[in-house]
Structure 1
Amino acid sequence: MITVTYSPGRYLRTFLDSLPSATTHNIVVIMADNGSTDGAPEAAQCDDVILLPTGGNIGYGAAINAALREVDRLGIGNDFVLIANPDAVFDPNSIDQLLECAARHPRGAAFGPRIREADGSTYPSARALPTLSNGIGHAILGGIWVSNPFSRAYKDDLNMDQEREAGWLSGSCLLLRRSALNEIGGFDERYFMYMEDVDLGDRLRRAGWTSIFCPTSVITHAKGHAAGSRPRLTLKAHHDSAYRYQADRHPQWWQAPLRWTLKLGLQLRSVVALQSELRRRNQDNHEDR
C-alpha cells in the first residue's frame, strides 16, 4: 500500500488501525511524505510501515511514482498496489473485496470502493470522463444548479450499487494492477494535485484497460482536510490541472483558440472561486466570534 502524507495528523493513526480487519493479507505501507511538519509519519513507523521522505512537496503523482520505485527497489511488490489517502478508514474485509473484484475483471486496471461520506451518503467516486461539454457545464453550473444535466452526465452516479465500469475512479482509494500501471508509465507528474486520477483513468482506457467500481468494498473518507486549509494553493492547482487535462486532449495547432479560451475561462473561474471561498470563511469567522 502507498499513501502520500502531508501533515496528516490524527487521521494517519486511524487509517493504519483500520487495515488489519480490512484484509487477511499482510500489508506493507509506504508513506511517501511530502514534507510533513506534524511528526505523525515519523511516529507511525514500524516494521510494516515505511517512511519515504520525498524531499519536499513534490506533488501527489510524483510522490506515488517515487513510492512505486521504492517498492521495486525493496522487492516487495506483487501484482497489485493499493493507493489510499491517509484520511481514509477501511471497513472490515474491504481490501479483500477489492482483490476479489479484480479477480473477476482480468482487463481491469483500476478498482475503486464505495466511498462513504461522514453523513453516511455515498460519494460519486465512479464518474464519466470529462468532455468539453459536460466539463464546462459542470464547472459553470455545478455550484448553483446541483441537478443540471452536465453534472449528472459527468458524475455518472445514478447507479452506485452495481459493480460496473467507470471512466475514472477517485484517487482517494485505488487498487491498481501493476502491469497496466507500468504500461502507461505511472502517474503523470505534471499534475501537482487534482485530476491526476482522471488523467490516469483516461490513459488506462486508451491503452485498452478498464476501471471498475466495486461497491461491496466500502471505505469512509474525510475528504479534503489538508487541501481545504490552503484555498489559494488548492483552487489554483485545481484549475491548472483542469486546463492541462483538456489541453493535452486538444493539442492540434488549429485547436489553439480553444486552449486559449479554456485557459482564460479557468483563470477567471479560479479568481471568482477563491474570492467566494475567502468571503465564506470571513463570514464563518465573524459568526464564530
Structure 2
Amino acid sequence: MTAYTALIIAYKRDDLIRDVLAALALQTVPPSRIVIVDNGGELGDAALGGDRPECPIDVVPRPDNPGYAAAVNEARPFVRADGATRLLVLTHDADFEPELAETLLEILDGDDTIGAAGPVLHRASNRDRLFSAGGRLSRGGRASHVVDAPASGTTPAVDWLDGAIVLYSVDALDEIEWLDERYFLYFEDVDTSWRLRRAGYASVVSGDTLAYQDPGAHPTYLGIRNMTLFAERSGIGSVPNALAVARRVAEESAVAILDRRRPPLRDAWRGWRDGRRGLSGKPPVR
C-alpha cells in the first residue's frame, strides 16, 4: 500500500498531541514519517511521550502562528525528501479509528482522479452527532456541511472536505501548488477542494470511515472576509456573494440576539469590506 506522511497541526495542547500520536501508533497502516507543526511555539517534551509510531518524527516550530494553510505547506519538503505520495492532515484534536489511514489510502490508490478523501466527522463531545460528511458550496460562495450520512460502501464526491482530517494525493497538491496561505484560517479547505476540482481531481467522503472532532466557532470577521476573498478569486458574482453574505450575517445575528449577545454586525461589515479590498493573511490584533 502507498506510503504516507502524517502531519499534525499543534497549538498549545501537549495532551492532545499525545492522543493523536497514540492513534497513529494504532493504525493498521502506520505512517512512514510524522511532521508536527507547532503553531503555538510551546510544544514540550511531554507531547512526544507515551505511545507513538516507530517512524521519524519532525517538529517544526512556528511560534508566529501562521495559520492552517501555512502549517500544511510545511510538510512539502518532507514528503518530497521521502518520496511519499500521500499526506494525512490532522488537527491536534482529531480522534480516529485504527483503520482510518488504510481505508482512505485504498480510496486514493484505487482511483487516480481522486485528490482528497476524508471520513464522516462526528462531534467528539457527542459521538452520535454527525457534523460533517463533506461540504457543499452555494452559488453565492457560502460553504455548508453535509449532515446526512453517506451509505456504507459509498464514496460520494463533495464540494469540499473539512480540514480536520483529510488524506491528500501529493501529486494533486503539487499540481495546485499546495494550500493558499492568504486565508490564514477558515475557507482554506473549501478553496483547496475547489482548486483540486478545477485541476480534475475529486474530493470524496468515505461512508465507511468515522472520525471525531469538535469544530470551533468561526470569528465573524474572518469567516466573512475569507468567504468574500474566495468569491473574488473563484469568479462568483458580487451580487450572489453579497446576498449569501447578508443571509449568513442575518442568521448569525439572530442567534446572537437569542443568546443575549450583541449581533456581530461591525465585524461582518469589516470582513466584507476587507475581503472586497483583497486584504488577506493573519489579521492584526485589535
TM-score category (smaller protein): 0.7 to 0.9
Q: Normalising to structure 1: TM-score of the pair? A: 0.74
What CA distance in whole angstroms lies between the structure 2 residues aligned with 1:245 and 1:62? 17
Q: Normalising to structure 2: TM-score of the pair? A: 0.75
**CA displacement, residues 140-168 of structure 1 (integer Å, 9 cap, x when unaligned):** xxxxxxxxxxxxxx544445223211111
Q: After the TM superposition, which of the residue ranges 100-109 and 42-51 deviates more from structure 2?
A: 42-51
In structure 2, the partner of 1:247 is: 232
- After TM superposition, give the deviation of residue 208 of structure 1 in Å: 0.8
Kept after mapping to 2: 8 A contact 1:11/1:87: yes
Letter of the structure 1 residue corresponding to residue 150 of structure 2: M
Structure-to-structure mapping, 1:77-156, within 5 angstroms: 77-117=83-123, 118-119=125-126, 120-132=128-140, 135=142, 154-156=144-146
Change beyond 3 A, Cα 1:77–1:4: farther
**CA displacement, residues 70-106 of structure 1 (integer Å, 9 cap, x when unaligned):** 443xx22411111111101121211111111222222
Share of identical aligned residues, percent? 25
- After TM superposition, give the deviation of residue 125 of structure 1 in Å: 3.1
What CA distance in whole angstroms lies between the structure 2 residues aligned with 1:273 and 1:35? 34
What CA distance in whole angstroms lies between the structure 2 residues aligned with 1:3 and 1:101? 21
Kept after mapping to 2: 8 A contact 1:5/1:41: no
Change beyond 3 A, Cα 1:276–1:193: farther
Higher relative contact order (CA 8 A, sep 6+): 1
Change beyond 3 A, Cα 1:25–1:11: closer
Give SS of 1:102's match: helix
2:57 to 21, 46, 49: 49
Kept after mapping to 2: 8 A contact 1:12/1:40: no
What CA distance in whole angstroms lies between the structure 2 residues aligned with 1:279 and 1:12? 36
1:30 to 23, 30, 35: 35
- After TM superposition, give the deviation of residue 271 of structure 1 in Å: 8.9
Kept after mapping to 2: 8 A contact 1:235/1:270: no
**CA displacement, residues 199-242 of structure 1 (integer Å, 9 cap, x when unaligned):** 01110111111111112222221332xxx5xx7xx332222111
In structure 2, the partner of 1:15 is: 20
In structure 2, the partner of 1:144 is: none
**Aligned pair 1:68/2:76, yes or no?**
yes
In structure 2, the partner of 1:145 is: none
**CA displacement, residues 98-145 of structure 1 (integer Å, 9 cap, x when unaligned):** 11122222210000012122322222231223321x83xx8xxxxxxx
Moved over 4 A (4+): 255-259, 261-281
What CA distance in whole angstroms lies between the structure 2 residues aligned with 1:271 and 1:34? 29
Change beyond 3 A, Cα 1:160–1:271: closer
In structure 2, the partner of 1:192 is: 184
1:4 to 9, 14, 26: 9
Give SS of 2:117's match: strand
**CA displacement, residues 49-79 of structure 1 (integer Å, 9 cap, x when unaligned):** 221012511111012112223443xx22411
* Structure 2 gap ranges (5+): 1-5, 263-286
Give SS of 2:64's match: coil
Change beyond 3 A, Cα 1:63–1:42: farther
Specify which structure has the higher proportion of helix.
1
* Structure 1 gap ranges (5+): 139-153, 282-289
Give SS of 1:190's match: helix
C-alpha RMSD of matched pairs (Å): 3.2
2:150 to 146, 160, 166: 160
